[in-house]
Amino acid sequence: MNLLLLLANGFEEIEALGTLDLLRRANVAVTTCTLNQTPLTLGAHQIAVEAELCLTELDSTQFDGVILPGGLGGSQALAATQGVLELLREYHQQQKCICAICAAPALVLTEAGILDGRKVTCYPAPEFIEALGDAYCAAPVCTDGNLITAAGPGCFTHFAKAILNAVAPGTAEAVFKAALIEG
């Protein structure tokens, strides 16, 4: 299993890096990819992260799924990038794993048009809930087929666990125990 973690300036650091850390502890291959022309991407709280790949270098066939961290600015940038929307549509059609947290489900997944009858959660801001409409599920994490979504920063462990359960069954408990994370 090889996952792609997309980063755009303004991404929510704990959602991206906390999830990345837990997945890598379980030996899940995750490649970070920025929308920027250079590897450096600046998070919502001014934490700079050097991505391993730029979107312009991406070969989408190398990956089995994608992770979209939230953060308002990052999610807006992802939703405004045609290459990201095309990737999501391609992965949705192929039933590859699509994981989004916080603002990303409401802004990016809706813009990609891939929610057709699915249930997802997001940050519980009224405008995000309204954007999701009937697709909204009021839960910390929601899995519906190949879609895994979570509500926000405080839910990143639930998000990571749901991803692990989907891509590396049986690893979450040991990883969480070793990291001293409850639940």
DSSP letters of the chain? Answer: -EEEEEE-TT--HIIIIIHHHHHHHTT-EEEEEESSSSSEEE-TTS-EEE-SEEGGG--GGG-SEEEE---HHHHHHHHT-HHHHHHHHHHHHTT-EEEEETTHIIIIIHHHT--TT--B-----HHHHHHHGGGB--SSEEEETTEEEE-SGGGHHHHHHHHHHHHSTT-HHHHHHHTT---
**Which residue out of 97, 99, 102, 155 is catalytically annotated?**
102
In the annotation, is 122 catalytic?
no
| CA 120/CA 100 separation, integer angstroms | 9
Contacts of 83 (CB under 8 A, 6+ apart): 55, 58
> What is d(CA 110, CA 76) in angstroms, rounded to the nearest whole number?
12
Please give the positions annotated as active site.
Answer: 102
